[in-house]
Structure 1
Amino acid sequence: MDNCFSQWRRQKIKPAGEVGITQTSKGEMYIIARDLKGQLWEKQEIRGDWSQWKLVEEADREQLDMEYGVLAANHARDGRIAVFGKSKYGEILFSWIDPYDENKTIRWKNMYQAIAVNIAVCERCTGGIEVFRLDTANQLWHSWTNPKGEWSQWQPLGGPISGAMTVTNNKEGFPQVFGKFLDGSLAVRRHHSDGMWGEWVYVRKDKIQKFKSMQDSDGKILLAVLDIEGRIQTCRQKEEADAWEEWELLSTEEYTDFCLVENDQGDAVFLGITNNGTIVRIEEKCLGQLQSLEEIKVRWIESARLIDGTICFIAVGLDGYLQMKEECKDGAVRESSSGCL
Structure 2
Amino acid sequence: MIKRPVIDKSKFYDFKHVNSCFVTNSEIISGSICNNTNIISLGSSNGDLKLFTLKNDKIENFCDLQFMDSPIFCVEWVNKENIALGLGTGQVLIYNVVTDTNSLIFCHEGSIRSIKNNFSREMIFTGSTDGSIKGWDLRTNKCEISLISQTESSPKPKRKNNIIYQDRRINSDDTGCINQRSTITAMEFINDYNLCSSQTPGSKICIWDLRYTKKGFFTHLSYEISRKAVYGILSYNNKIYCASSDGRILILRNDGTVSRILGDPNINSSYGNIIYDRYNDMILAGLKNRVFLINENNYQNIGFKMLELGNINGVISSNNNLITYGTSNNIEIYESIFDNKYNLLDLII
| TM-score exceeds 0.5 | yes
**Against the structure 1 CA distance between its residues 113 and 232, is the aligned structure 2 distance closer, same or farther, given a 3 Å change threshold?**
closer
Q: Which residue of 1 aligns with 2:77?
A: 74
**Against the structure 1 CA distance between its residues 8 and 180, is the aligned structure 2 distance closer, same or farther, given a 3 Å change threshold?**
farther
Query: How many residue pairs were aligned?
Result: 295
Which structure has the larger Rg over C-alpha atoms?
Answer: 2
Matched position secondary structure for 1:254: coil
Q: CA RMSD in A?
A: 3.7
Contact 1:178 1:188 in 2 (8 A): yes
Quick one: which of 228, 248, 261 aligns to 1:249? 261
Q: How does 1:111-122 map to 2 (within 5 A)?
A: 111-112=105-106, 114-122=108-116
* Gapped regions of structure 2 (runs ≥ 5): 1-10, 152-180, 342-349
Quick one: which of 155, 180, 186 aligns to 2:199? 180
Q: Which residue of 2 aligns with 1:335?
A: none
Matched position secondary structure for 2:22: coil
Quick one: which of 314, 317, 332 aligns to 1:323? 332
Contact 1:139 1:158 in 2 (8 A): yes
Q: Which residue of 2 aligns with 1:12?
A: 22
Q: Which residue of 1 aligns with 2:5?
A: none
Which amino acid in 2 is paired with 1:302? G
| Separation (CA, whole Å) in 2 of partners of 1:202 and 1:39 | 36
* Gapped regions of structure 1 (runs ≥ 5): 333-341
Structure with greater strand share of residues: 2
| Separation (CA, whole Å) in 2 of partners of 1:297 and 1:56 | 23
**Against the structure 1 CA distance between its residues 177 and 292, is the aligned structure 2 distance closer, same or farther, given a 3 Å change threshold?**
closer
| Separation (CA, whole Å) in 2 of partners of 1:23 and 1:232 | 28
**Against the structure 1 CA distance between its residues 330 and 173, is the aligned structure 2 distance closer, same or farther, given a 3 Å change threshold?**
farther
Q: Which residue of 2 aligns with 1:156?
A: 146
Which amino acid in 2 is paired with 1:174? Y
- For the pair 1:65 / 2:69, whether they are aligned, the reply is yes
Q: How does 1:151-230 map to 2 (within 5 A)?
A: 151-153=141-143, 155-159=145-149, 160=151, 162-170=182-190, 172-182=191-201, 184-193=202-211, 198-204=218-224, 206-216=226-236, 218=237, 220-226=238-244, 230=246
**What CA deviation, in whole Å up to 9, does each residue of 1:275-297 have, x standing for no partner?**
xx455655455667645334334
- For the pair 1:237 / 2:253, whether they are aligned, the reply is yes
Contact 1:143 1:151 in 2 (8 A): no
Q: Which residue of 2 aligns with 1:261?
A: 275
Q: Tell me the CA shift for residue 186 of structure 1.
A: 0.8
| Separation (CA, whole Å) in 2 of partners of 1:41 and 1:120 | 18
**Against the structure 1 CA distance between its residues 114 and 204, is the aligned structure 2 distance closer, same or farther, given a 3 Å change threshold?**
closer
Contact 1:28 1:45 in 2 (8 A): no
Q: Tell me the CA shift for residue 188 of structure 1.
A: 0.7
| Separation (CA, whole Å) in 1 of partners of 2:107 and 2:248 | 38
Q: Tell me the CA shift for residue 214 of structure 1.
A: 0.6
**Could you tell which deviates more after superposition, 119-128 or 191-200?**
191-200
Q: What's the TM-score once normalised by structure 1's chain length? A: 0.69
| Separation (CA, whole Å) in 2 of partners of 1:205 and 1:291 | 22
Matched position secondary structure for 1:292: strand
